[in-house]
Structure 1
Amino acid sequence: MKRTWLLGFGFFSISITWALYNAFIPFFLENYVQSIAVVGFLMTIDNYFALFLQPWIGNRSDRTRTRYGRRIPYLLVGMPLAAIFTAIIPFHTGLFTLLLFMILMNLSMSLYRSPTIALMPDITPENRRTKANGIINFMGGVGSIIAFGVGSMMYDLHRSAPFIAAGIVTLICLLVVSRSIKEERDGVNSEETRIPRISLKSQFDRTTLFLLAAIFFWFVSYQGVETLFTLYGKNYLGLSEKASAFSLTFFSVAFVLFAIPSGLLGKRFGKRKMIITGICGLFVVFTLVIFVKDLLMLRVVLLIGGMFWACININSYPFIISTGKEESIGTRTGLYYLVSSLAAISSPPLLGQMIDNFGYSILFYCASASLLVALACMLMVRQGNESSDAMGG
């Protein structure tokens, strides 16, 4: 598991960058546009590029063969570019340059996000993947805590400080991953030399379709809340920008603490059962937030919500991988991020428009309803090929 912890630095860099992006970019956009729906749309315009790139790059990485491996070359190109564009975002001079830097940053991240995540199943046997996913998400959760906690304090000092720090962290993480992970040595199927051609169409069986639908709807809920929560806290609850961003730390802390246990529970009881438990629990949490006005209670509820989000998030990626074949890992990773990108595109502007029409109180009503749809889809998903996990093998 040592290699899994080292690989976690790749996910750490992704998470810290995304957390800063979602927490502070809305404040930049708010200086130029008044409509929350427009803010939500502008927060997702970059995902239109990711929508097409990530499935294609995931598919390409399945068939890539270089002396650096299948996935690492994409990290070597994407991570330095992402570091640069993340660091310069706060130095925009207007709406045009802000959007330009945002798009370039996200295009760069699209180059390496799917290959980074696909490295985990590449170097991990199937019966250990839920635990391994718990470890790399633990690392990602630590990144989110740093972004929301330390990042909010750095933002108070100067708005550029957390973004520059994130760029530096990304470069350090690239060095750690590229030096510690050798795909030819560490891959569980490293002896395989045939390069298969994977058809995207062949991946869409009944189980996969319902699972992708469930993933879409729970990410609609999560992405909408994550993107608009800081504005919700500031404009509806009357919190400061710092307090709004810091409140998300409690969600992330619980996610981190429960990431590895969630993976172990998924291995013991099955990934599908843990995902359904997480959806039900997060629905209750988001429903409770509707009635919470006290800051302390809000943070307690968010703390509980982070635990249920771990049940969903830690088990969902290994589950969609387990429903396919080993040679399609990169392709199915791309599909996973295709669906999450679709949710990221549709959720913030849709929920932003609902806020424009009905006020901020509507945010968690919509998020809760989306989780109910995700639950309905998940109940249509068959158990999948995870017998070894459920048996603890």
Structure 2
Amino acid sequence: MKLDYKKTFILGLGFFAISILWPVYNAFVPIMLEQYTKKATVIGMIMTIDNLFAVAFQPIFGAMSDRTNNRFGRRMPYILIGVPISALLFSIIPYTTSLITLMLTIIIMNFTMSIYRAPTVALMPDVTPSPLRSKANGVINFMGGLAAAVAYAIGGILYRMNPSYPFHMSSIIMVIALIILYTFIKEPRDFRIEEKKKIEKVKDIEKNKSLIFILFAIFFWFTGFNAVETFFSLYGQYVLNIDPGRASIVLSLFSVSFLLFAIPAGFIGTKLGRKKTIFTGIIGALIFFIPLIFVRNAVLVSILLVAGGIFWALININSYPMVVEMAPKGGVGTYTGYYYFFSASSAVASPILFGFIKDIVGSYESLFLYSCIAFLAALLCMFYVKHGDVSVENYDEEKRLAIEENYGD
């Protein structure tokens, strides 16, 4: 059984379209907000709207897409509605002339993004045989990382030319990706939702326990990651004694190593097994993050972060396929919503929690200690995950043939 890389890269365009928007949004919207308010707390609260909407709405639309059945498919109706409206609103953002109009545009745009984010991601397990989902998720995350690199590199150049250009670039790419996705990706023709049988109740209880523990593991390792991502520039300034620009470059090395190792992480997860790969990733991340509690040299920090990014790929690439592997037939969108509920919840809670801790201890030196504790909590949760793995060798040939019949070539 081989992964259809052409189809997977085309599918990755959906994730590319999602990912190219957020770097531009995070980089330039705070600058616009500062024209109307100098209060960093207010700006920070506004900038967390996307995560709050992800927590509130993505599980809803993911579940709704499971139960949608029309001539456009299950996921595609939400993508066809959400992407064009989001692209249009994103292009309008630089032309707003007051805090009220800017806020209104941001809120509606974040809502329309929530309409299609979970259904877009759910397309991957829909059209990919179960044993190959780690490989496919590696490709898709690579596309997302590539989108972020494009947004940061080209967006900065375009912003100097005209502040509205990065927004237009992202919107145009989103629409082009939508057209390609709609043209080349066929949705399944089988819309049946699995009905539970009484004899499966014990198995379902065990599977639900595994689901709960992996979702909390996801929450904890994103808790560790989000704190570092949010506060590293301040950590660099006050602990490493480097300027914020250099701190940003140092942290970007973590993202680059994750990007370069995204596809290999999928291969490793397929060969070694998802749970073992995630265990390896967490332990490896801890091995390289624990020294960061004590190291104060920017060069050594950079080296440790590069290694940490590799192990972060092992964790991140294989976790989503484990979650949707536990989904009943027809429930992939719902379980995708669960995944984003827990990952987005950590993005809301972790910066606030670490900020509170920093205010108590009075220093950013505890950043990586906080991160390591969160990763240890994730490791503990993973011990109780008993489901979510599948091997190519044990995969039922009938299931493979059914996928080809339902999803097309």
In structure 2, C-alpha distance between the alignment counterparts of 1:302 and 1:20, rounded to whole Å: 24
* 1:303 Cα offset (Å): 2.1
Match of 1:223 among 219, 222, 226: 226
State the match for 1:194 in structure 2.
192
Corresponding letter in the other structure for 2:24: L
Distance in 2 of aligned mates of 1:223 and 1:214: 14
- What is the aligned counterpart of 2:115 among 111, 122, 125? 111
Q: CA deviation at 1:76?
A: 1.0
Measure the CA separation in 1 of the matches of 2:66 and 2:162: 42
- Establish whether residue 163 from structure 1 lines up as the match of residue 167 from structure 2: yes
- The equivalent residue for 1:369 is 373
Aligned to 2:76: 72
Distance 1:373 1:30, change over 3 A: farther
Q: Percent identity?
A: 44
Matched residues, number: 383
For residue 170 of structure 1, report the CA deviation from its aligned partner.
1.4
Q: 1:236 to 1:225 in 2, by over 3 A?
A: same
Q: 1: CA distance between counterparts of 2:340 and 2:52?
A: 12
Structure 1 residues 390, 206: CA separation in 2 closer, same or farther (over 3 Å shift)?
A: farther
Q: How does 1:138-157 map to 2 (within 5 A)?
A: 138-155=142-159
Residue 17 of structure 1 is matched in structure 2 by 21
C-alpha distance in 1 between matches for 2:98 and 2:49: 17
Of 389, 392, 402, 1:386 maps to 389
In structure 2, the CA distance between the partners of 1:336 and 1:81, relative to structure 1 (3 Å rule), is: same
Residues 378 and 345 of structure 1: is their aligned pair in 2 closer, same or farther, counting only changes over 3 Å?
A: same
1:116-265 correspondence to structure 2 within 5 Å: 116-155=120-159, 159-183=163-187, 187=188, 190=189, 192-194=190-192, 205-233=208-236, 237=240, 242-265=245-268
Q: Which amino acid letter does the alignment assign opposite residue 278 of structure 1?
A: G
What letter matches 1:381 in structure 2?
A: V
Structure whose alpha-carbon radius of gyration is higher:
2
Which deviations, in whole Å up to 9, do the C-alpha atoms of 1:129-169 show, x marking residues without a partner? 11111111111111122234444454555554433322222
Q: Which whole-Å CA distance do the structure 1 matches of 2:309 and 2:60 have between them?
A: 31
Equivalent residue, structure 1, for 2:11 = 7
Partner letter of residue 113 of structure 1?
Answer: R
Q: Deviations over 1:153-212 (max 9, x none)?
A: 5455555443332222212211221111121xxx3xx3x2435689xxx89821111111
Deviation, 1:386, is 2.3
Name the structure 1 match of 2:401: none
> Which whole-Å deviations, capped at 9, do the CAs of 1:21-55 have from their partners, x for residues lacking one?
4455556666735556x655443234333222111
- Structure 1 residue ranges without an equivalent (≥5): none
Mark the CA change 1:25 to 1:229 in structure 2 (over 3 Å): closer, same or farther: farther
Equivalent residue number for residue 267 of structure 1: 270
Q: Are the aligned partners of 1:131 and 1:260 in contact in 2 as well (CA < 8 Å)?
A: yes
Query: Per the alignment, in what secondary structure is the counterpart of residue 387 of structure 1?
Result: coil
The structural deviation recorded for 1:311 is 0.5
Give CA-to-partner distance per residue, 1:224-277, whole Å, 9 cap, x none.
322343454466656555544444432222112111111111111110111111
Q: Which residue does 2:302 correspond to in 1? A: 299
Normalising by structure 1, we get a TM-score of: 0.86
8 Å CA contact 1:130–1:314 kept in 2: the answer is yes
Which position in structure 2 is the counterpart of 1:322? 325
Post-superposition offset of 1:220: 1.4
Q: Distance in 1 between matches of 2:249 and 2:133?
A: 31
CA distance in structure 1 between the partners assigned to 2:113 and 2:83 by the alignment: 7
User: For residue 311 of structure 1, what is the amino acid of its counterpart?
Assistant: L
In structure 2, distance between residues paired with 1:329 and 1:283: 31
> TM-score of the superposition, structure 2-length normalised?
0.82
